[in-house]
Amino acid sequence: MWPWVARKVRRGEAQRGGAADAWIDFAEVSTVSRGRRPAEVEVLLAAFVARHPGILPARMSLVRTRLALGRRADALATLDDLLAAHPDHDAAKALTADLLAPTPAKLEAPMVPTGVPPPSRPGRLPRKVEPGRSGAP
């Protein structure tokens, strides 16, 4: 949502005397944070989450921002807080499982030295021929 739309909605709420809508606040924070560095976005989102802990997409955005900053422990703590309040949040459970899963083993192709001839028949290793001798036994 554009900032001017959020300002108009706020003015309308102020005239009615109603409380500011948390979702409009989240839209404004999202708009303001576009194009900013992750460190700046993290400050904005952390302040928003402190004011409106019930807006779960904001918490997930904060987790992703902390991961982008390389602050894995803080991201996991934020996920733990989210799951403590909302244990059925599927995206938070999946992200937690991904972060806590062990890193997969890296399979590497075996290195074959360049001087080794290819096998003559499948399942058979080539015989080494000594210099000066023919290949016959």
Does residue 37 belong to any structural domain of this protein? yes
pLDDT of amino acid 122: 67
pLDDT at 92 over 90: yes
pTM over 0.75: no
Cα four-point dihedral sign 124, 130, 135, 137: negative
Residue 18 pLDDT class (50, 70, 90 cuts): very low
Residue 110 pLDDT class (50, 70, 90 cuts): confident
Question: Do 24 and 1 contact (CB within 8 A), yes or no?
Answer: yes
Q: What is the mean pLDDT of residues 61-88?
A: 94
**What is the pLDDT of the chain when averaged over all its residues?**
81
Radius of gyration of the chain measured on its C-alpha atoms? 30
pLDDT of amino acid 134: 61
Does residue 124 belong to any structural domain of this protein? no
Closest of 34, 24, 88, 87 to residue 61, by C-alpha: 34
Question: Can you spell out the DSSP letters for 29-97?
Answer: HHHHHTTS-HHHHHHHHHHHHHH-TT-HHHHHHHHHHHHHTT-HHHHHHHHHHHHHH-TT-HHHHHHHH
Does residue 33 belong to any structural domain of this protein? yes
Question: Do 49 and 62 contact (CB within 8 A), yes or no?
Answer: yes
Number of compact structural domains in the chain: 1
Residue 78 pLDDT class (50, 70, 90 cuts): very high
Residue 51: which domain range?
Answer: 3-100
Closest of 75, 76, 80, 65 to residue 34, by C-alpha: 65
Residue 84 pLDDT class (50, 70, 90 cuts): very high
Phi first, then psi, for residue 90 (nearest 5°) are -65, -40
pLDDT of amino acid 25: 84
Residues 6+ apart with CB under 8 A from 42: 62, 65, 66, 69
pLDDT of amino acid 79: 94
Residue 131 pLDDT class (50, 70, 90 cuts): confident
pLDDT of amino acid 114: 77
Question: Would you give the DSSP letter of residue 16?
Answer: H
Does residue 129 belong to any structural domain of this protein? no
- For residue 44, give the CATH number of its domain: 1.25.40
